[in-house]
């Protein structure tokens, strides 16, 4: 039995974002968006890309067109978004188990051993494909992805659906997120949240660079303070 069972953890479920939390796919989204923007002679900056994290493909496409000063019909935007997705999926083709971010699978294993309920809550319509490539889809009771929600983060729909499926109250969940939109979505859902990565994230309960050397004991300290 895991020693973590002795930890006073006042939660029942954990919800993981995918891109930037479980897998380092954020730079692949960026690379694909840059190729679309390049067709319009527009340089998508790293700062602008930060604002696309956690945002649905459609909303991201609209934002980039606006920043580029372009005006397209709905159909044209849809076509560009599809082109971007084809590029993105090509880049994801070679993903495998080793592309899970450092420490995240060990942390998930520890959570499973303690009986915590686990979900993925991602804006990505490709979430299940990516999790299958990483060979970790079976570690989660539910994957709520971009195909299952109508409203994009910061709307709480994706996380509330995950909690509903897990049959736990939102206040008993902790969300792990790398985007400001996702942190806000967790707050809007009434959930605690831990920011992941080195971007400046506001209003999270705590932020960690990565899951390396992270465990439930550390989580309990962060959310019980
Ligand atoms: P797709 P997450 C989000 O995933 C990404 O952060 C965001 O950059 C992307 O635009 C969005 O998924 C949609 O992805 O085009 O694959 O449907 O961070 O919520 O896991
Ligand atoms: Mg993310």
Tens-digit pLDDT profile for residues 118-145: 999 999 999 999 999 999 999 999 999 9
Using the predicted structure, report yes or no on whether residue 6 has a pLDDT greater than 90. no
Tens-digit pLDDT profile for residues 20-55: 999 999 899 999 999 999 999 999 999 999 999 999
DSSP string, 146-210: TTS-SS-TTSSHHHHHHHHHHT--GGGEEEEESSHHHHHHHHHTT-EEEEESSS---S-SEEES-
47 is catalytic: no
Where residue 5 falls among pLDDT bands split at 50, 70, 90?
A: very low
Q: Which atom of ligand 1 is nearest to the CA of 18?
A: 20
Closest CA to 32 of 71, 89, 77, 70: 89
Best of 55, 81, 123 to mutate for ligand 1, by most ligand atoms within 8 A of CB?
Answer: 123
Cβ < 6 A, ligand 1 pocket: 17-20, 29, 52-57, 60, 85, 122-126, 146, 179
Reduce the DSSP state of residue 29 to 3 states and report it: helix
Where residue 109 falls among pLDDT bands split at 50, 70, 90?
A: very high
Where residue 10 falls among pLDDT bands split at 50, 70, 90?
A: confident
17 is catalytic: yes
Nearest protein CA to atom 5 of ligand 1, as residue: 54
Q: Which atom of ligand 1 is nearest to the CA of 123?
A: 19
Tens-digit pLDDT profile for residues 140-194: 999 999 999 999 999 999 999 999 999 999 999 999 999 999 999 999 999 999 9
- Do 123 and 158 form a contact (C-beta atoms < 8 A)? yes
Indicate the pTM of the whole model: 0.93
Neighbours of 94 (CB within 10 A): 8
Instruction: Please tell me the predicted confidence (pLDDT) of residue 224.
Output: 83
Tens-digit pLDDT profile for residues 49-104: 999 999 999 999 999 999 999 999 999 999 999 999 999 999 999 999 999 999 99
Instruction: Please tell me the predicted confidence (pLDDT) of residue 196.
Output: 97
Using the predicted structure, report yes or no on whether residue 2 has a pLDDT greater than 90. no
């Amino acid at each position: 039995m895991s020693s973590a069972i002795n930890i006073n953890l006042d939660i029942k479920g954990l919800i993981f974002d995918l891109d930037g939390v479980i897998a380092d796919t954020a730079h692949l989204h960026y690379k694909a968006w840059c190729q679309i923007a390049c067709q319009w002679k527009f340089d998508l900056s790293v700062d602008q890309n930060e604002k696309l994290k956690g945002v649905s493909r459609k909303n991201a496409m609209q934002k980039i067109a606006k920043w580029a000063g372009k005006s397209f019909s709905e159909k044209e935007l849809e076509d560009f978004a599809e082109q971007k997705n084809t590029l993105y999926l090509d880049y994801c083709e070679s993903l495998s188990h080793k592309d899970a971010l450092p420490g995240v699978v060990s942390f998930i294993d520890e959570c499973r051993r303690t009986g915590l309920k686990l979900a993925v809550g991602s804006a990505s319509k490709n979430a299940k494909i990516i999790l299958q490539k990483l060979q970790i889809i079976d570690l989660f009771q539910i994957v709520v992805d971009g195909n299952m929600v109508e409203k994009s983060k910061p709307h709480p729909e994706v996380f509330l659906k995950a909690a509903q499926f897990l049959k736990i109250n939102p206040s008993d969940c902790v969300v792990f997120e790398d985007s400001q939109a996702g942190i806000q979505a967790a707050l809007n859902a009434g959930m605690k949240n831990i920011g992941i990565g080195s971007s400046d994230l506001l209003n999270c309960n705590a932020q960690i660079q990565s899951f390396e050397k992270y465990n439930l004991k550390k989580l309990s300290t962060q959310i019980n303070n």
